Amino acid sequence: MAFRSFLPNTGSFFLATAEHFFQASAANKLCRKVLRSKDAIEAEQKRQQNTNKYIIHPFSKFRWFWDLFMVAVLSVTLIILPVNIAFFPNDPDSHWEGMNIAVDVIFFIDIILNFRTGYIRSETEEVILSSKKITINYLKTWFFLDFISTVPFDYFFLASTGTASRALNALRMLRLTKLLSLLRVFRMARFLRYINRLEELLDIPGSVLRIINLVIMILLLSHWNGCVQYLVAFIEDFPENSWVVRNGLLHAPVTDKYILSVFRAMSHMLSIGYGRAPPLNNTEVLLVMISMLLGATFYALFIGHTSSLLLMIDTSGRAYNEKTNQAKEYMRYRRIPIKTQRRVIAYYEHKYQRKYFDEDGIIGEGNISPAIRQEILVHNCKDLVAKVPFLAQSPPDFMYDIISKLKFEVFLPGDTIIQAGRRGDGMFFIEHGRVDVKLMNAGVELVVSSLGDGAYFGEVSLILDERRVATIVAAEICDVFFLSKADFENILAEYPAMSNIMKKVAEERLQQTTQALGSAWENEETDPSIIPEVSMRSQSARLKDFDDQSEGTVEESEPSQPDEAIVEDETNKKEKKVLPPLRTERNKSGKILTNIDV
């Protein structure tokens, strides 16, 4: 009883599995490409069940595996069929005949399945599952070629004429009819469609696949041409002036016949000769001419596809060469000094690394989804984030908003990145390289500090809108990222907590900078070790709010020296200018001003 109750459940399970095997499957990449979502795939499966569940869906697992199987059968057929036609007699007892019959049966099954398989309307990418429309479409397209290439005309002739010996001469002429089997070549269209799918599965560029297809077609054509070379002589019953007789191949082994036939065909196609014997009759002359035309055509196609492949292999390198060549022509036209030209080329080489990409066109807003863009930007700036504690310790959203606004720039040794006395329009992050921080002391510019990987500078100007108090010069080639004042203010408006943190630290930095300036002007010989770094690689800052004061009030610190004091040096009688009293005031807009303007 238990066994009987198990049978219906087992039968239902296998029936449901079989139905699912013939329905649209999400495992099929083409299915996901056309239907685009899981809900759409499920709706397509329901539509198939309601329309005609005995129709094979073109996106089903069964059709996928069957088409791959047919590609394999076609590949074997395209190699073996010409050899069978040219070099082996039509003997029913031949060991080739069993395989030919099996292949013909497979193609008959394929014809039946094509009548029961839906198709995709190319204009709208709609999947047609109607039996009537499928039949009409197949009859209009591939049915005739499939039917002609599948029907074994030679076997029908043998069955109607009796034994092979009585019809031997007729069968030799019938080999021309058997060439209709070569119409299976037209089924290569299905094979090429699956080759295109391999581009998606294997992530192989289309140009590489075209080269591979072309090489395979050249080898396959050479194979067919070699078989035709021998077949033509066989059909003419091997005349005395045929190349087969002159080369002593009439009774030679099949391998010798095939090798020399292919050698002769490739000699014609490559236009390097006529093989071991030139053509001596009209049939062979015509055959040689056709071979040469085919060879020249495929040679031109091969050269064109190879050139296209070479151009696509290094598109970024070619774009870089075009950019540098254009820059060189421009500099020669404008008669730019040689030293400057060398600096421009060095700048290009370091910044682009001989690879030029239109990064805004690739990952710019609107060209890629925000999620993928964020993933790419975080990857590109991961080294910078790891080196800058200010970014590494900040919330992820704040960190991403910062790096999404960064602009990459390169500075060569000696380039001035920030000039003292000018208004600040942004801050800089050092990814690679080292810069020198310079201050003026009695008319002499002194290096008071150096900043390296992970440091940042210029952040105070983003908050105070003040003039720069120090000059920053690249000591070596520097890779830096620039953040503009406008972008930084917009980001701070979204993150009040980060804004408060930066206010506290910025006040300390401003005091350190002011003290450094005072120390530099008070001492004739300044020791750089006692001067704090300007914009150290610590947390970013923003000036904290001052206590409420009336607008326009002026706070004056106790002067340590009289205004414009002149101190006379007893040893060398030199006059030195000392620091005037430090004053700060708030203007009407609430901005803090100092009387130190560097």
Which residues have a Cβ under 8 Å from the Cβ of 531 and sit 6 or more positions away? 439, 448, 449, 516, 519, 520
Residues 343 and 424 in one domain: no
Q: Are residues 74 and 181 in the same domain?
A: yes
* 455: number of Cβ within 10 Å: 23
- Domain with residue 488: its CATH number is 2.60.120.10
Is residue 289 one of the residues assigned to a domain? no
Kind plus residue range of the DSSP H or E element containing 557: none
**Residue 578: closest CA among 522, 539, 536, 538:** 522
Shared domain for 39 and 113, answered yes or no, is: yes
Q: Which of 266, 282, 293, 220 is nearest to 274 (CA)?
A: 266
Residue 306 maps to a domain: no
The pTM of this model reads: 0.61
* 3-state SS track over 365-429: ECCECHHHHHHHHHHHCHHHHHHCHHHHCCCHHHHHHHHHCCEEEEECCCCEEECCCCECCEEEE
Gap between the Cα atoms of 376 and 430, Å rounded: 20
Mark whether 348 and 424 lie in a shared domain: no
Q: Which of 260, 264, 258, 291 is nearest to 87 (CA)?
A: 258
What does the pLDDT read at residue 570? 37
Residue 245 forms part of a structural domain: no
Closest by CA to 491, choosing from 424, 564, 405, is 405
Tell whether 111 is covered by a domain: yes
Q: Please give the pLDDT value at position 541.
A: 36
The answer on 324 and 179 residing in a single domain is no
Domain boundary among 179, 202, 225: 202
Last residue of a domain, one of 145, 170, 202: 202
Identify the domain boundary among 508, 531, 550: 550
Find the largest Cα–Cα distance for the chain.
136
In a domain, 265, yes or no: no
Domain that holds residue 524: 405-550
- Distance, in Å, from the CA atom of 227 to the CA atom of 537, rounded to the nearest integer, reads 77
The answer to whether residues 57 and 23 touch, using CB atoms and an 8 Å cutoff, is yes
Low pLDDT (below 70) residues in the chain: 1-18, 89-96, 154-155, 157-207, 275, 442, 504-510, 512-598
Residues 61 and 172 in one domain: yes
| Within a domain: 229 | no
* Same-domain check for residues 431 and 339: no
Q: How far apart are CA 106 and CA 318, in angstroms?
A: 50
Q: How many CB atoms lie within 10 A of CB 386?
A: 11
Is the domain of 347 the same as that of 465? Answer: no
**Number of domains the chain contains:** 3
Tokens representing 218?
């050249």
- Tens digits of residue pLDDT in 506-537: 666 667 666 655 665 555 444 443 333 333 33
Q: Are residues 44 and 148 in the same domain?
A: yes
- Name the residue type at position 167: A
Residue 190 pLDDT: 62
Whether 491 is in a domain gets the answer yes
- Cβ-based burial of 299 (10 A; exposed 0-12, middle 13-18, buried ≥19): middle
Any domain includes 249: no
- 162 and 52 both lie in a single domain: yes
User: In this structure, are 323 and 450 located in the same domain?
Assistant: no
